[in-house]
Amino acid sequence: MTQATIPSPQTPWATSFQQRLNTAGLIALGAVLAGVAVKTTGLSGKLGFAVSLFVIASLLIFVQQLRLRDMAAAKDSLLSSFASLAIVLTLIPIISIVSTVVIRGYQGIHFGMFANDMTMASVNDPVTAGGLLHALVGTVIMVGVALLISFPIGLLTALYLTEIRGKLARPIKFLVQAMSGVPSIVAGLFILSILVIPVTQELTGLMGSLALSILMIPTIARTAEEMLLLIPNDLREAGVALGATQWRTVSGVVVPAARSGLVTAIILGIARIIGETAPLLLVSGGADALNFNPASGPMGSLPFYIWKAFLTGGTEEAYARAWGGMLVLLILIVSLFSLARYLSGRKVA
Question: Is the pLDDT confidence value at 124 over 50?
Answer: yes
Render pLDDT for 204-224 as a digit per residue (tens, 0 to 9): 999 999 999 999 999 999 999
Q: Which of 107, 123, 146 is the last residue of a domain?
A: 107
Whether the CA torsion 15, 20, 26, 32 is positive or negative: it is: positive
The three-class DSSP label of residue 287 is: coil
Q: At residue 330, what are phi and psi to the nearest 5 degrees?
A: -65, -40
* Chain Cα centroid distance, residue 271: 6
- Are 123 and 89 in the same domain? no
Question: Is the pLDDT confidence value at 347 over 70?
Answer: no
- HSE-up of residue 114 (Cα within 13 Å, Cβ side): 5
- Are 54 and 181 in the same domain? no
CA distance 7 to 13: 17
CA distance 129 to 329: 20
pLDDT of residue 349: 46
Contacts of 346 (CB under 8 A, 6+ apart): 260
Domains contained in the chain, number: 2
Greater model confidence, 46 or 328: 328
Query: Which CA distances in Å does 267 have to 116, 158, 215, 272?
Result: 27, 16, 14, 8
Question: Is the pLDDT confidence value at 71 over 90?
Answer: no
Q: What is the mean pLDDT of residues 111-119?
A: 85
- Are 247 and 190 in the same domain? yes
- Are 65 and 134 in the same domain? no
Q: Which of 64, 81, 107 is the last residue of a domain?
A: 107
- Are 98 and 120 in the same domain? no
Question: Is the pLDDT confidence value at 88 over 80?
Answer: yes
Q: What is the mean pLDDT of residues 169-186?
A: 90
Q: Which of 66, 85, 107 is the last residue of a domain?
A: 107
CATH number where 268 lies: 1.10.3720.10
- Are 57 and 160 in the same domain? no
Whether the CA torsion 15, 20, 21, 25 is positive or negative: it is: positive
152 occurs within a structural domain = yes
- HSE-up of residue 20 (Cα within 13 Å, Cβ side): 4
35 occurs within a structural domain = yes
- Are 81 and 172 in the same domain? no
Question: Is the pLDDT confidence value at 91 over 60?
Answer: yes
CB 248 within 8 A of CB 272: no
Render pLDDT for 273-306 as a digit per residue (tens, 0 to 9): 998 999 999 999 888 888 899 988 899 999 999 9
pLDDT of residue 348: 47
Greater model confidence, 150 or 259: 150
CA distance 295 to 186: 22
125 occurs within a structural domain = yes
- Are 258 and 304 in the same domain? yes
pLDDT band at 240 (very low <50, low <70, confident <90, very high): confident
By CB atoms closer than 10 A (0-12, 13-18, 19+), residue 233 is exposed
- Are 173 and 291 in the same domain? yes
State what percent of residues in the chain have pLDDT above 90: 28
Q: What is the mean pLDDT of residues 173-178?
A: 90
Contacts of 71 (CB under 8 A, 6+ apart): none
Q: How many helices and strands, by DSSP H and E, does the chain display?
A: 14, 0
8 occurs within a structural domain = no
Q: What is the full DSSP assignment across 20-44?
A: HHHHHHHHHHHHHHHHHHHHHSS--
| Average pLDDT across the chain, whole number | 86
Q: What is the mean pLDDT of residues 44-72?
A: 83
pLDDT of residue 4: 63
Q: What is the mean pLDDT of residues 162-166?
A: 87
Q: What is the mean pLDDT of residues 86-101?
A: 90
Q: Which amino acid would we find at residue 207?
A: M
Domain limits for position 197: 114-344
pLDDT of residue 346: 60
11 occurs within a structural domain = no
1 occurs within a structural domain = no
- Are 85 and 182 in the same domain? no
Q: Compute and round to an integer the Cα radius of gyration of the chain.
A: 28
